[in-house]
Structure 1
Amino acid sequence: MGFHTFDVERADRLERPEVRYRWVSAEELIGPLVAADAGVVADLGSGTGFYTDDVAPHVERVYGVDVQTEMHDRYREKGVPENVELVASDVSDLPFADDELDGAFSTMTYHEFASDAAVAELARVIRSGGALVTFDWTADGDGADGPPVDERFAAADAVSALEREGFEVVSDSTRTETFAVVARAP
């Protein structure tokens, strides 16, 4: 699987609640972060901030992390909440101190950054016991929506990668086209 990003020219597609919430609801994303008392979190692959906006009212600070500054530009155009700071970075090289984050989340971007280096970096920057909430397109899906199946991972792949770095997987599930994994940092 190769590194790729979402086409900025299609960024307006990231702002469709009737489609986005079909695959990941705001409640199932926010719940594990609130349960872990996460005050400072990072949205990994934040794009135009669709889910960042959902999380922001429930935490002290959200870092919207994206490798594409053009996505940050799109987010600024629609308006960035006061407690959101935009960070241009790859997940495998985050500009945060050790244990700086109480949690992190990714929605439909794990397949874009999945690597041992990225998971190790998350283990470094999320405090012990902090939440990592991951939703992505599953390799077990039919590929009718999202990226091609050969660019996806199964939930078991994500679980294995996280456990190798010491994360404790709290829950994992596979749905029709997506998977969900909630884990605690080592």
Structure 2
Amino acid sequence: MRLILASTSPRRRELLAQLDIEFEVAAVAVDERPLAAELASDHVCRLALAKARAGAANYGPHVQVLGADTVVVLKGEIFGKPADRDHAAAMLGRLSGHTHQVLTAVARVQDASHAVRLSASEVTFRPLSPTEIAAYCDTGEPLDKAGAYAIQGRAAAFIRHLEGSYSGVMGLPLFETAELLAGATSKRC
């Protein structure tokens, strides 16, 4: 069966390729703004499903489409992708020395059915100096990442502790993704 990844994220492509399955990539456009009073877990599940559905709308029946979304959550506040360098530095300053949650939802849409899985991880940053934050922001790495950091990049040196899914923090939880592709249909999000 044909599989479409509704994401142009290089990280998601690399992760899905680790499952040794053939897939195609499709760009989708979805409004990623949180709804008023929306919980972070509901937000990522809604967006993952919206992305999968947007991808599925471009293909005929009997095609599986995966969509995913990732956010960082600190004290109930959703940190998406930073708007610019200053926003990235502010996010990193707030994450410095604290434990935050990374939520990644992955959704599969096929014909009229869908399923959604949620991966929740806890990440603890060591305290960061303003100089470290500025140097990291100068690399450009944080600009297109939820929470303004890449666990697989230079920010790995900031992480004191990870509890949960490394691939989920990267943007596509492989356990949950494999479960969906194996045919799991119940919604667990």
Task: Mark yes or no: TM-score above 0.5.
Answer: no
Of the two, which has the highest radius of gyration?
A: 2
TM-score when normalising by structure 1: 0.29
